[in-house]
Structure 1
Amino acid sequence: MSRDRRPAFLDRAHYRRRRVMDAARVLPFAGLFLFFLPGLYGSDNPHSTASTGLFLFGSWAGLIVAAAFLSRRLARIAEDEGSGRKT
């Protein structure tokens, strides 16, 4: 009965790479949710059109920032994998 000596958990770099990839996959769905959120209030919307517009613009800007951040992280990960370095 020999025991397998492999580590029980993934190494830190592999785990972070997978989480960044998961975040990049979820980002479009988060954007859809944020853009349709003002429409869920219906006709009895207590918020003004201006505040709804500001919410949509803020959500759009936040999604751009999040996509830029994730894009830079994924590019750095791909570069590190290409050069054979570990992060």
Structure 2
Amino acid sequence: MIRGDGAEGQGETTAPFVARKTYRRRRLMDVARLLPIVGAVLFAIPLMWPSPDPYPAPDSMGGMPLSRAMIYVLSVWAMLILASFVFGLAVRRWADHWTGVNEGPQEGGGD
């Protein structure tokens, strides 16, 4: 059995290092999986805001108005779209370097 947690018993070997290409591809997949979770957390923040009191006392906090909450939600939505677009461009740019695969047409094809 191969274990990489440092708690090897007799006769067990440690986990070998993975190739750099595989490691980086897995880290890219981790970042891609993390973006929706970050978005869900950011969308849940307005649920913790206090609701505005329709008849606030003169020196009391009235809560967050709906207009500010909607501006926040739309801003988070736009930032998530922008972040996914930038991440997609970065992955496309780095994919050739990290994996060593050329996706473009081959030059000097003959015939």
TM interval, shorter chain, is 0.5 to 0.7
Q: Which runs of 5+ in 2 are unaligned?
A: 1-18, 53-61, 103-111
Conserved 8 A contact 1:31-1:59: yes
Q: Which structure has the larger Rg over C-alpha atoms?
A: 2
Classify the secondary structure of the residue corresponding to 1:46. coil
Partner of 2:78: 61
Counterparts of 1:18 and 1:46 in 2: how far apart (Å)? 43
Alignment partner of 1:73 out of 90, 93, 96: 90
Bigger proportion of residues as helix: 1
1:9-47 per-residue CA deviation (whole Å, 9 max, x = no partner) reads: x97x88766554432221100110111110122546711
Under a length normalisation based on structure 1, what TM-score does the superposition of the two structures give? 0.65
Alignment partner of 1:29 out of 29, 34, 37: 37
Q: Which of the pair has the greater relative contact order for Cα pairs under 8 Å at 6+ separation? A: 1
Q: Bigger shift: 57-66 or 38-47?
A: 38-47
Counterparts of 1:43 and 1:49 in 2: how far apart (Å)? 8
Alignment partner of 2:69 out of 27, 52, 71: 52
Task: Report the alpha carbon displacement of residue 61 of structure 1 after superposing the two structures with TM.
Answer: 0.4
Conserved 8 A contact 1:20-1:70: no
Amino acid at match of 2:68: S
Task: Report the alpha carbon displacement of residue 79 of structure 1 after superposing the two structures with TM.
Answer: 3.3
Number of residue pairs matched by the alignment: 75
Q: Which runs of 5+ in 1 are unaligned?
A: 1-9
- Computed over aligned residues only, the root mean square deviation of the Cα atoms, in angstroms, reads 2.7
Under a length normalisation based on structure 2, what TM-score does the superposition of the two structures give? 0.53
